[in-house]
Amino acid sequence: MTTIKRHSAFIIPSVIFLLVAALFVVPGWKKRGRHSLANYLPAPAVAQASEVTPWFEAMQKVKEDRGEPTGKQARVDIPQQVRHYNDTRRFLAIQVAEVREHRFETPRDLIDLAGMIARGEMIQVKPVSKNYVLYGVGGSAGTDQFTRYENGKSIGLYSEAGLQQAYTRIAEQQSEVKDKLTGLRKELSSLGRRERSKRAQLQTQISASDKRFQAAREEKELLDRNYGNPERRAELFSDYGALTSFAKSRPDRDFNLEEGAGRRELKVRMLSSLRPEAYAVLEEIAASYRQTFGRPLPVTSLVRPDEYQHQLSKRNPNATLIDTPPHSTGLAFDVYYRYMTAAEQTHVMNHLARLKDAGRIEVLRENRDHYHVFAFVDGTRPSESLISASLGNVSSRRAVQESHHAVAKAKKKPATKKPRAKARRRR
């Protein structure tokens, strides 16, 4: 009996451990590239990652093995309605025309987005429901300070106390980097000419430290220009106060903007927003998919303010850089078909095709495992005259790709001063 008890004491905890571990060792949970699992979690799930939350259960349904090819490996007939037009500019031009027709306000940054949510122009989408699950929405949101985005620059938003702390942080960073540079240069000067490997290593460290020092100096100059002007200073303090009130007025919880985790969670929550017209389309597609296949529809992108879109474009060339990117309107969302079988993809594409034929949406099946869906406000496609007028405001996909390739090539190989200047202009 004693031996049995000893074995039970060892076996039972081991079994429990294996069962818990198995929840995470399911197909697709591996890291892809540099992204960790936390990048894809909705804000509440980050704090509960060790628990089996409704979001985790939904994602297990999305990713479970179907026993047949999925995503781009599945053989499907792609309806013409979800393909690109012969003139690839037309797809974006239709969406630009819709914005022009209704004269939409689009958010420059998360501060503008907060105001739109507060006024009811955008509604916040739950991380998970019986019909859909948000996957990766806000995954690039950081813990850094909220910012105002103006003229291509991100200006940190602070309270009066927070501004003083920012200046102190910058001064300490500059002092630290300056001391490090002094030490590195002294060490470099003591090396012989034949110690090439060590010299190259030190030069790399010096270059990186120089960039850090320059970044700190530019941040201070940006703060000086904006907070040094009394009128502008009062405006930025007012923006911070309004954002604080918004963070505390959320119906489900109070977000602490003084903590990095609180800032990130609020950013993710805000980026999980759509205009009501787009949300209605999302719910319709998701309900049809769940009723047919018993799974929630995975949705990967909702609203993106201009600043967030610009940040994404540095890592993802598919993030469109035009005056009014579709996702900045709050009328666009992306459906992820990476884990869908041929039958599932066909069902979703046929539904999207019917909505497009009815004039309610614009849609494109993208090669990166997404269906990009754009909802028209009154369920009517904009006029051909507006679409034609908008064609000149977007570039063809080929031109955009060539531009990205040129920039990448310029970054890889050394160039003279003249080619570097050209690369900067292209960016």
Per-residue pLDDT of 332-343, as tens digits, reads: 999 999 999 999
Burial class of residue 74 (count of CB atoms within 10 Å of its CB; 0-12, 13-18, 19+):
middle
pLDDT at residue 382, rounded to an integer: 93
**Where exactly are the structural domains of the chain?**
71-142+269-394, 153-256
pLDDT at residue 31, rounded to an integer: 38
pLDDT digits (tens, 9 = 90+) for 345-394: 999 999 999 999 999 999 999 988 999 999 999 999 999 999 999 887 66
Residue with tokens 């980026």: 271
Which positions of the chain have pLDDT values less than 70? 1-51, 313-324, 393-427
pLDDT at residue 322, rounded to an integer: 46
Q: For residue 258, what are the CA distances in angstroms to 144, 159, 240?
A: 10, 10, 11
pLDDT at residue 15, rounded to an integer: 43
For 140-152, give the secondary structure using H, E and C.
CCCCCCCEEEECC
pLDDT at residue 392, rounded to an integer: 76
pLDDT digits (tens, 9 = 90+) for 253-286: 889 999 999 999 999 999 999 999 999 999 999 9
pLDDT at residue 402, rounded to an integer: 36
- Cβ-contact 366, 318 below 8 angstroms: yes
pLDDT at residue 313, rounded to an integer: 61
The beta strands (E) that lie in 40-87 are given as none
Dist. CA 245–CA 227, nearest whole Å: 21
pLDDT at residue 405, rounded to an integer: 38
pTM here? 0.76
Dist. CA 53–CA 45, nearest whole Å: 7
Domain 71-142+269-394 has CATH 2.50.20: no
